[in-house]
Amino acid sequence: MDQHDDQHDDQHDDQHDDQHDDQHDDQHDDRSPEPGAERHGERRGGRRTVVITGASDGIGAAAARALAEGGHDVVVVGRSERKTAAVAGPLGVLHFSADFARLDDVRRLAHDLQEAVPRIDVLVNNAGGIFDRRELTPDGHERTWQVNHLAPFLLTHLLLDGLLAEGAAVLTTSSIASHVGRLSPETLVDDRRWSPQRAYADTKLANILFTRGLDRRYGAQGLAAAAFHPGGVATNFASGSTTALGLLYRTRLGRRLMITPEQGAETLVWLAGSSAGSDWRSGGYYEKKKPARAPSRAADDALGDALWRRSAELVGITPGRPAG
């Protein structure tokens, strides 16, 4: 689901890339995989069907190409019908378009996927963006929160029965910006202190909390989940934004410091093509195909539960409960 900078509505497909790739501390987790994760890993071997949102540009498009070349069945999802078709066409794969700023589009996308795709082994929530102005969507939600968190939260839940049946994996593109997210159970969205950077960082933290929440609630049933930081990738992400991040993406020096979309997609491709339990731990956060240090707030289960309940309320679904 390639979302765009709000000043360049038709030009930019924002992927979750970040310029601070070299600041992230890798940290290995030695805990034994849970039984549910092991069952998931066993079921996901071989050729897989991988649905990727935000796949009409950037790391989403690069991952779609790499996975298709690796023999997997890829489904490309993007906001722009034209750009999405341009990626899917040469690969000979299915494609769908949906605007995550409209939850009815997300509901339609889920229905269309259920009708056209017999099984989904991996759902990649890669769509997202950073936006210059505080703006409400037609659904009444702040745009960054809806596009980056509420829409993938809803899409995952609408597809959940099928994902559980297949012992699937849900992968979510986060960012090192999550480390400066300031969510709290008392104030999940503090509009009084809104800024593009704060909203983006908070949603990137929410992506990791959502990943942990999926594992806590459904890991024992065979669902696996992981979040990852792709690194600072030279894509169209934020290139139309007037923020400092946007300036970096527009400068020649800034882009020289970044990695290619193909390099940024490597962790996504690795997670999608490997198995939870044997290759990676469900509920974890990854960078450069290794466990990475997640924000301390990401381990706050009370915050995660509060976010889960509030998100379910906002998109109109019944929240699942953590196991135990």
- 136 φψ region: left (φ > 0), alpha (ψ -120 to 50), beta (else): beta
- Residue 232 and residue 15: Cα distance in Å, rounded? 11
Closest CA to 169 of 134, 119, 131: 119
CB 294 within 8 A of CB 230: no
Compute the distance between CA of residue 174 and CA of residue 194 in angstroms, rounded to an integer.
20
Map residue 191 onto helix, strand or coil. Answer: helix
CA atoms of 31 and 17, how far apart (whole Å): 29
DSSP state string for 264-311: HTHHHHHHHHS-BTTTB-TTEEEETTEEBPPPGGGG-HHHHHHHHHHH
The Cα–Cα gap between 21 and 233 comes to 9
Q: Mark out the alpha helices in the chain (DSSP H runs).
A: 35-43, 58-69, 81-91, 103-116, 143-145, 151-158, 160-166, 196-218, 244-250, 252-256, 261-264, 266-273, 301-315
| The one catalytic residue among 200, 218, 249, 285 | 200
**49-52 and 94-97 as β-strands: parallel, antiparallel, unpaired?**
unpaired
Active site residue 249: no
Q: Distance (Å, rounded) from C-alpha 47 to C-alpha 70? A: 9
Query: Mind telling me the catalytic residues?
Result: 200
